[in-house]
Amino acid sequence: MSEIWLYVKKLHRFAGARMYLNLTTMVVISLMEGVGIFMLVPMLHLVGLFQSDAVSMPLVDWLLRPLDGLPTDWLLPAILLLFVALLTGQAWLQRFQTNMNMAIQQGYIRHLRMEIYEGLLQANWSFFLRKRKSDFNHIMTNELARVTSGTYLTLRITTTILFTIVQLVFAFWLSWKLTAFVLLCGAALALYSKKFVRRSQQLGERATHLSEHYMASVTDHFNGIKEIKSNRMEQQHVHWFRQLCMRMERNFVQFARLQSASQFRYKIASAVIISLFVYLSVAFFKVGIEQLAVIILIFSRLWPKLSGLQNHWEQIAQSIPAFRSLLQLQRETAEAQEGRAENAASSPVDIAKPRGGVQRPVPASPAEQDKLEIREALACRHLRFRYDRNDAAYALRNVSVSIPANRMTAVVGKSGAGKSTFIDILIGLMNPESGEVLVDGVPLTASMALRLRNSVSYVSQDPFLFHGSIRENLAIAAPQASEEEMWEALRFSVSDGFVRELPQGLDTVIGDRGIRLSGGERQRIVLARAMLRKPSVLVLDEATSALDTENEKKIQQAIEQLKGKMTIIVIAHRLSTIRNADQVVVMDQGTVVQQGNYQALAADGAGVFQRLLAYQAQ
């Protein structure tokens, strides 16, 4: 339950006075409804249905006092007019409250979405290494919807309780004995219904687990659709998917059954209670017919609200696991914020939970565009790093390298040697377990790392393009870039030719992850995008691996023109591409085994580099 209150408090912080106005409006609406019910008595009296005098009813006397001086013939129209005015006022307020509710609810959803998304984007890279990406989709869609509807239901329960209290005050006024009797029955029913709430929570946990699984599998399957189709694995996937869908269906049906079973019992109980109630009123409490009519009216309005309360309660219990998942994610992202001082010392695997509530993501401290330029060298000393501290294997062991500014450094080595890990630490994406990164001799802090990355353009082995036009994919890196600058960047990456030939040129939509382009074309667009940022450090991690020799050569020449203007770090498997590097760093099993210029390393017969060259020459 504490999770729910945290989100109700968030709603309170978000909606502020509007939340109180909303609650107050609800109370006023229920008061008006109570008064409307009371007014039925004098109306029925005036049309001759009730024999006794209406003024024997408490409150009615007070309500009708303003009509005292009126002639008898005007009394009924006057009361009817009042009745219409009252119901019109109530309907207006109801409309106002519904609209306000919707505005608050939708605003709250947007607020939560933004909070989670910002929190995620500001989390450090180590956080993402531990997580399954589909879980974010799941939380941001399904779980967020469950949480917002759960929060809203909690508010509705609060207003229903307020409504109930107001109506009960009316009922107590009329007959405290009958009201106490109904309340006792209600309490007994609520106790009996606890088991339904418990079961709802269990089903909710299963629903969370299943839909998480569903989202992860669907994402995986469509990411791997080419393999599935090429290897004719459709049937296995369909069969597996059917099983999962059936489990989800069973879970939802079970929850619906649980709800209908609890409503069924409520309905039977209400029939028994109403019968007992009427019998006791007439046989024991000797309640007047007007009071009995009003009490029955009040309870007939109240009882569905009480059974609705039970229904809402079960739905809230069902959504508690979603509250937990969301809260857990927000805590973890808050803890993994980039720029937090403690991140500098923490490993990716031992993040502690913050005590108390969710922390508001702290915006990245340095100004967004504040760049950290390297004047002399980007270096590291005695770096050691493990992806998992429970694992004995180190991805980096005692790595010390200096990368001179405005020169080209190539990092080479066998697959798994630690090249990408080294670069990730160098640009401050991850923190080493021990050792340090130095920018011009100054140890890299968490906030410096953010500024350093403002100066870096990183092109990965797996180029990221989104479903949009080439222009949009370029502009995401440099929104202010002019058309001419875009073409210049495309010329650099030898992609201006093929882009010009596309049906809509720069405005051609390239499909999901750039699927309508070839692997090499995708790499070239991403390289152009990297250049548009006008970086002072360019990191190319196997960035031209999918290119044909001719285009790779052209790009290589273009990159060489950059020497002296920016710091270039190239990770390459094809060693012919790094012949003109100023420095080559050779890695093997997490350590730097050789360092020097290409020719010197190639001449070293005992070195790893010569063996790598020899393999490629075969």
Ligand X SMILES: Nc1ncnc2c1ncn2[C@@H]1O[C@H](COP(=O)(O)OP(=O)(O)OP(=O)(O)O)[C@@H](O)[C@H]1O
Q: Point out which residues bind ligand X (CB under 6 A).
A: 129, 387, 395, 413, 415-421
Closest distance between ligand X and the C-beta of residue 265, in Å? 52
Q: Alpha-carbon distance 543 to 454, whole Å?
A: 20
Taking the complex as a whole, the smallest distance from the CB of residue 392 to ligand X amounts, in Å, to 12
Kind and range of the H or E element at 560? helix 549-561
- Nearest approach in angstroms of CB 515 to ligand X is 23
What DSSP letter does each residue of 104-160 carry, written as one string? HHHHHHHHHHHHHHHHHHTB-HHHHHHS-HHHHHHIIIIIHHHHHHHHHHHHHHHHH
Q: How far apart, in Å, do the first and last CA atoms of the chain sit?
A: 66
HEC per residue, 465-478? CCCCEHHHHHHCCC
Q: CB of residue 393 vs ligand X: minimum separation in angstroms?
A: 7
- CA distance to 125, 152, 356, 457, 511, per residue, from 346 (Å): 12, 38, 20, 26, 39
Question: Cβ closer to ligand X: 379 or 417?
Answer: 417
Residue nearer to ligand X on the CB measure, 158 or 420? 420
Query: Two tokens at 33?
Result: 């409804």
Count the helix, strand and coil residues of the chain and give each as a percent rounded to the nearest 5. Answer: 65, 10, 25
The residue among 269 and 396 lying less far from ligand X, judged by its C-beta, is 396
User: CB of residue 131 vs ligand X: minimum separation in angstroms?
Assistant: 11
Q: Considering beta carbons, is residue 340 or 419 the nearer one to ligand X?
A: 419
- Give the nearer residue to ligand X in terms of CB position, either 58 or 416: 416
Smaller CB separation from ligand X, 475 or 593: 593
Pairing mode of beta strands 396-404, 377-385: antiparallel
b/e burial code for range 4-19 (CB count within 10 A of at least 16 → b):
bebbbebbeebbeeeb
Pairing of strands 377-385, 434-439: antiparallel
Distances (CA, A) of 255 to 164, 191, 244, 566: 27, 20, 17, 61
* Cα 361 to Cα 114: distance, rounded to the nearest angstrom: 11
Closest contact distance (angstroms) between CB of 431 and ligand X is 14
Distances in whole angstroms, Cα of residue 130 to Cα of each of 133, 135, 349, 392: 10, 11, 8, 18
Q: Is 94 helix (H, G, I), strand (E, B) or coil?
A: helix
Q: Closer CB to ligand X, residue 413 or residue 535?
A: 413
Residue 420 or 469: the one with the smaller Cβ distance to ligand X is: 420
Q: 379 vs 612, which CB is nearer to ligand X?
A: 612
263 backbone dihedrals φ, ψ, rounded to 5°: -70, -35
> Taking the complex as a whole, how short is the minimal distance between the CB of residue 22 and ligand X, in angstroms?
47
C-alpha–C-alpha distance, residues 48 and 610, integer Å: 111
Taking the least distance from each CB to ligand X, the nearer of 420 and 445 is: 420
Q: How far is the CB of 571 from ligand X (least distance, A)?
A: 7
Nearer to ligand X, 60 or 426 (CB): 426
* CB nearer to ligand X: pick between 366 and 418: 418
Which DSSP string do the residues of 23-91 spell out, in sequence order? HHHHHHHHHHHHHHHHHHHHHHHHTTS--S-GGGSTTHHHHHGGGTTS-HHHHHHHHHHHHHHHHHHHH
Strand order across the beta sheet in which 567-571 lies: 456-459, 537-541, 567-571, 408-413, 583-588, 591-596
CB of 386 to ligand X, least distance (A): 8
Give 276-333 as a DSSP string.
HHHHHHHHTS---HHHHHHHHHHHHHHHHHHHHHHHHHHHHHHHHHHHHHHHHHHHHH
CB neighbours of residue 368 within 10 Å: 8
| DSSP state at residue 418 | S
The torsion angle over the Cα atoms of residues 334, 335, 338 and 342, rounded to 10 degrees, is 140
* 94/420 with CB nearer ligand X: 420
CB of 129 to ligand X, least distance (A): 4
Residue closer to ligand X (CB basis): 295 or 584:
584
Residue closer to ligand X by CB (options 32, 120) is 120
Distance CA 577, CA 570 (A): 9
Alpha-carbon span 545 to 543, nearest angstrom: 6
By C-beta, is 295 or 430 nearer to ligand X? 430
Least distance in angstroms from the C-beta of 592 to ligand X: 12
CA 319, CA 150: separation in Å to the nearest integer? 6
Nearest of 349, 354, 360 to residue 328 by alpha carbon:
354
For residue 421, the minimal CB distance to ligand X (Å) is 3
Q: What length is written for the chain?
A: 618
Q: Output the smallest distance, CB 612 to ligand X, in A.
A: 12
C-beta of 582: minimal distance to ligand X in Å?
21
Write out 488-514 in H/E/C secondary structure.
Answer: HHHHHCCCHHHHHHCCCHHHCECCHHH
Neighbours of 205 (CB within 10 A): 16
